[in-house]
Structure 1
Amino acid sequence: MADVTVKSLTPETFDDFAALVERNKGMFANCWCTWFHPDDRGPGSTVEDNRAFKKRLVDEGIAHAALVYDGDLAIAWAEYGTPEELPAIHHRKEYLATAERLPDYRITCIQVEKVHRGKGLASVALRGAVDLIAQAGGGVVEGYPHDTGGVRKKNSSFLYNGTRTMYERQGFTYDRPKGLGNCVMVRRVAPSPGH
């Protein structure tokens, strides 16, 4: 897909993101990509609550993602942010016990619309997130992909943050395991020229 573009998730692009999520029934259990954010809403959040919560975070500038577009249609995204913005990572207790330091940014979720999977768009989304992080000043970036040993063992619907080999192709290096089947991948991202 040579003609795809990447845009930042902003109040101006939120409706494009919302349309993507709605076409895919809210993604995982109607999460609306809110799971990794700090959440003071309490139990029992509805689909409408999750959408409103994500919209509020985007409006406040504390929810970030690289949106991948095919023409005017958003078809994939990679969520990223600081550890303060995205603290609720899987296997957090183990992660904190083995961390020497927290990264400047983390990439927590990469999703591609089902009908567009298998075309390399997860890599495009990851590269887009790295580029947007560089524009924001760069720093140490972590991702937590599935470590499949180079073999796709899971349905792509459950590879919510891509694979270790995809991260390696984007210049990340393996740091350590995290949970069952995931790992911590690290890359130092230089700031964009002129930043």
Structure 2
Amino acid sequence: MAIEVRPATVFVDVKAMVGPKRPDANVCWCLSYRIPSKENLELRGQARGELVQQFVGQDPPPGVLAYDGDEVVGWAAVHPRADTSFARNRKIPHVDDLDVWSVWCIRVRPGHRGEGISHHLLEGAVEFARDHGAPAIEGYPLDNGGKKIDLTMAYAGTRKLFEKAGFTKAADTDSVLNGFPRVLMRLDLR
């Protein structure tokens, strides 16, 4: 299996990874951390997908996609922290004043889990941020100590996943997800 990670510039592939089965459903679309909380709560149904379609057309696009041949098999949301709700999040600290990028969602399609695709996605997110001039990249994964995580909450990744990609713990956070503390993991790209 040769996994290729590319910028998320194909809307139908982004939709396949983060969109709903029903177009009027109010699923995340990976907007929960990308836009202010009030806007996220007010945005309903098809308007959510329309906003993501706009993001896909922007430079930089909202993340990266993993492909196995022509089939999209994974997604990672990555963008400058200043453009996300992490810029104002009181539970996730700022380590310094660098214009860091954040990676906050890693999803692998059912039927493709356990194949190492999340590792490819995180590596691709790092390269994407580096290619766009990011001085550093952060993630806010769960520090689960090897314990099982509910799949609906696994999107944040694990500390171990980030450590394998070369990230180091930069700070504790006050954020808890699925009963596990989140840690701020960081990789210097300079």
Asked if Structure 1 and Structure 2 have the same fold, meaning a TM-score greater than 0.5 normalized by the shorter chain, the answer is yes
Question: How many residue pairs get matched?
Answer: 183
Which residue of 1 is the match for residue 5 of structure 2?
A: 6
Cα separation, 1, equivalents of 2:184 and 2:40: 29
Pairing 1:6-25 to 2, within 5 Å after superposition: 6-10=5-9, 13-22=10-19
Cα separation, 2, equivalents of 1:73 and 1:188: 32
Secondary structure (helix, strand or coil) at the match of 1:89 reads helix
Which residue of 2 is the match for residue 193 of structure 1?
A: none
Pairing 1:70-81 to 2, within 5 Å after superposition: 70-81=68-79
User: Could you report, residue by residue, the CA deviation over 1:83-134 in whole angstroms, capped at 9, with x for unpaired residues?
Assistant: 2222x239921324x6433542111111111221121111110001111112
Which residue of 1 is the match for residue 124 of structure 2?
A: 128
Cα separation, 2, equivalents of 1:125 and 1:46: 28
Match of 1:168 among 149, 157, 163: 163
Cα separation, 2, equivalents of 1:49 and 1:189: 35
Which residue of 1 is the match for residue 86 of structure 2?
A: 89
Q: Is the 8 A contact 1:105 1:141 kept in 2?
A: yes
Residue 25 of structure 1, CA deviation: 6.6
Cα separation, 2, equivalents of 1:107 and 1:90: 13
Cα separation, 2, equivalents of 1:185 and 1:7: 23
Change (3 A) 1:159 1:9: same
Which residue of 1 is the match for residue 115 of structure 2?
A: 119
> Could you list the runs of 5+ residues in structure 1 that have no partner in the other structure?
191-195
Q: Is the 8 A contact 1:63 1:85 kept in 2?
A: no
TM-score, scaled to structure 2: 0.84
Change (3 A) 1:44 1:187: same
